[in-house]
Each structure stands twice: as C-alpha cells, then as structure tokens.
C-alpha cells in the first residue's frame, strides 16, 4: 500500500493562532480557498476556484480537537484522508501534515493533471500561504484552477541584485528552494533539479539578462521566466509560466513554483531566515529528492 504524503513545517506563531487559522472560515478564505464553511465538530468544508474539484464541497470532517484536524476529501473518485497535527515548539508551532490515498511519485508524473496528483503542490502552496498568514505577511498567491493565466507579481524587500543572485546562482537557489540545483549559467546552458548527470531531460536557459531576467524552457515546451525591476528600494519580481496548451494548464508545476516564491520572499525579508520546511516524504521519489515544481 502506498504510504501517505507527509511533511512538517515550523510556524513562528503561537499554537492557538495557528489552530484558529486552520479552523476559522474567514481565515481559510484568506490563505486556502475561495469559499469555506466550518461548524465544529460536525462540518469542515472548502471549495471554489482555488481548490481541485472545487465546484462543491467534497470534505467530511472526522475529528477536530486537541490540535488535531482530520477529514476525508473525496477526489478523483477516491476518498483520501487529510490529517493536520499541531504541537508547541518553544515560541513556534510545528505542523505535521499527511494525506493518504494519493498516487506515488512515478504515478503522479505519469498523470500530472489529475486532481490526486495536484495534491502535492496544492498543499505545498497552501501551507506556504498559511505560514505567511500566521506570521503577519500577505499570502504569496493562490492558483486559479479555472484560468490558464499563469503570471504573478511579488514585491520583495531586498535589492534587485541580491534577488537576481538568489535565482541565477544555483548554490543560493538550492538554499531557499530546498532542493539541489545544478546549472550551466549561460544562454543554452542546462538547468536541472537534482543533478545534471542524472537528469535525462534538463531544462535549458533560453534567456539571461544579468540582474534583470532568467528564463527556463522545459522539454515539454513550458517556459518559466523571472523578470526583476527596482521598486521603492526593493524588487518587483514578475514570474510567468507560458508555452502550454490552454486546455491543459500545468497547474501542479505552477503551484510548486508559487510555493517556492513564498520561501524566496522569506529568505530575503527575514533577518534570521531558516526554511519553514522541516521535512518532506513523498513515496517513490528517487534518491529522496522532493520537488515542488511538479517536474
């Protein structure tokens, strides 16, 4: 039987505030979903355009007490079980998440457009937004699963040169993104998550303007581009994903990149930055590498 997807994050907020953000419908509408209704201990529902299969609520609450939330979420004709557990950790809160009933990593790659496969990056983005929400920052973005438009502007309170280096320098990229990056940093150079030697189809750098822009093209035609501009002493980052069919937008990849942008902003804006991600387990991932961009 496939093991559940599991991960742990740390949130610099009291446990009561994190629990409130998880169970208050108004808070859920800020960081998670377009619509939410909660009436504990009997109802916990969210739906709308930011939610896979979000035409109606598909959740059934199992329990919500002692800082443990469990509910069934029916997706793709299957019942999955989501469990979110909180515990105090000094002046921080540890959140441990799991979801059972999902495909393994190989199956996810083979059918990356299914609702079940979207769960990996849906929750990566959602929890990144939760971290920002309880720590007093606006959530980075949510993915509109009814739209093929994939463009997001983010303001980062750091000089443009520093933000550019964190994107163009593979070593710095690896620090904030949390997965190893190897790259040949010139136009036409290869770019791989993991290892250039082990990736048979690496992306290629197709545009590189020092200090201003970098674009990656994947083998399937998708292009990911970062463009940087000065903005009131900081940087405006415009991130765009293009080159795909409007009939099959790569939402999983997009949500993974957006979750990465949340950590990039934290990397530059927090004086004593450390990754909010403590650990991730996704069954079937080669060499233990967890990727959040769906590739």
Q: Is the pLDDT of residue 33 over 90?
A: yes
Cα-trace Rg, the chain: 19
Are 167 and 213 a contacting pair, CB within 8 Å?
Answer: no
Cα–Cα dist 234/254, whole Å:
24
pTM: 0.91
pLDDT at res. 113:
79
Mean pLDDT for 94-118 is 85
pLDDT digits (tens, 9 = 90+) for 167-202: 999 999 999 998 889 999 999 999 998 889 988 899
For 191-247, write each residue's pLDDT tens digit: 998 889 988 899 999 999 999 999 999 999 999 999 999 999 999 999 999 999 988
**pLDDT > 60? residue 143:** yes
DSSP letter assigned to residue 208: E
Using CA atoms, how far apart are residues 258 and 209, in angstroms rounded to an integer? 22
Could you list the beta-strand ranges (E) of the chain: 5-11, 35-39, 43-47, 59-65, 68-75, 78-89, 92-100, 151-156, 181-183, 190-193, 203-209, 213-217, 223-231, 234-242, 277-281
């Amino acid at each position: 039987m496939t093991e559940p997807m599991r991960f742990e994050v740390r949130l610099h907020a009291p446990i009561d505030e994190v629990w409130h953000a998880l169970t208050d419908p108004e808070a859920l509408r800020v960081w998670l979903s377009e619509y939410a209704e909660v009436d504990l201990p009997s109802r916990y529902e969210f739906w709308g355009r930011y939610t896979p299969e979000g035409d109606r609520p598909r959740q059934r609450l199992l329990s919500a007490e002692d800082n443990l939330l469990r509910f069934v979420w029916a997706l793709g004709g299957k019942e999955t079980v989501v469990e979110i557990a909180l515990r105090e950790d000094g002046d921080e809160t540890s959140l441990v998440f799991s979801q059972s009933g999902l495909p393994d990593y190989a199956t996810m790659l083979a059918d990356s457009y299914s609702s079940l496969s979207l769960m990996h990056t849906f929750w990566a983005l959602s929890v990144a937004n939760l971290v920002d929400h309880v720590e007093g920052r606006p959530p980075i973005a949510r993915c509109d699963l009814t739209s093929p438009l994939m463009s997001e502007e983010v303001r980062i309170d750091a000089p443009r040169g520093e933000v550019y280096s964190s994107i163009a320098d593979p070593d710095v990229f690896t620090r904030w993104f949390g997965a190893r990056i190897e790259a040949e940093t010139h136009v036409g150079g290869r770019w791989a998550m993991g290892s250039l030697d082990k990736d048979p189809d690496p992306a290629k750098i197709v545009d590189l303007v020092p200090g201003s822009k970098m674009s990656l093209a994947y083998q399937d035609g998708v292009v990911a581009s970062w463009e940087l501009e000065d903005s009131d002493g900081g940087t405006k980052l415009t991130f765009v994903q293009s080159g795909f069919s409007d009939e099959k937008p790569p939402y999983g990849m997009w949500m993974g990149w957006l979750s990465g942008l949340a950590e990039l902003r934290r990397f530059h804006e927090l004086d004593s930055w450390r990754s909010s991600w403590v650990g991730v387990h996704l069954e079937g991932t080669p060499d233990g590498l967890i990727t959040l961009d769906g590739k």
